[in-house]
Amino acid sequence: MTNVEMTCLTKKQKFSVEDPEVIRLANGRYAFRCKCPWQGKNGKDLYAYKFCSYKDWESYVNQKESNDEEETE
């Protein structure tokens, strides 16, 4: 389990997340992505991003695939 400290850029507050989602950005880099515990104006959901390595992305994909296999059984 990976514990990552994220920063909400709108609220300027830090929070900790266990095993956040890892995505590939349009520029080819990888980043952790998670929903902030706070909401913006008019109840809009806020998301925090933090750059990560290819190794983090690879382990996230492998973990996700193994979880999908367990659910199908």
- Segment 22-46, tens digit of pLDDT: 999 999 999 999 999 999 999 999 9
Question: Residue 10 corresponds to which tokens in the numbers above?
Answer: 């709108």
Q: How far apart are CA 59 and CA 52, in angstroms?
A: 12
Cα–Cα distances in Å, from 33 out to 8, 28, 72? Answer: 11, 15, 26
Q: CA angle, 35 as apex, 4 and 51 as ends, to 5°?
A: 45
The whole-model pTM stands at 0.84
pLDDT at 34: 96
**Residue 56 main-chain phi, psi, to 5 deg:** -65, -45
Judged against a pLDDT cut of 90, whether residue 73 lies above it is answered with: no
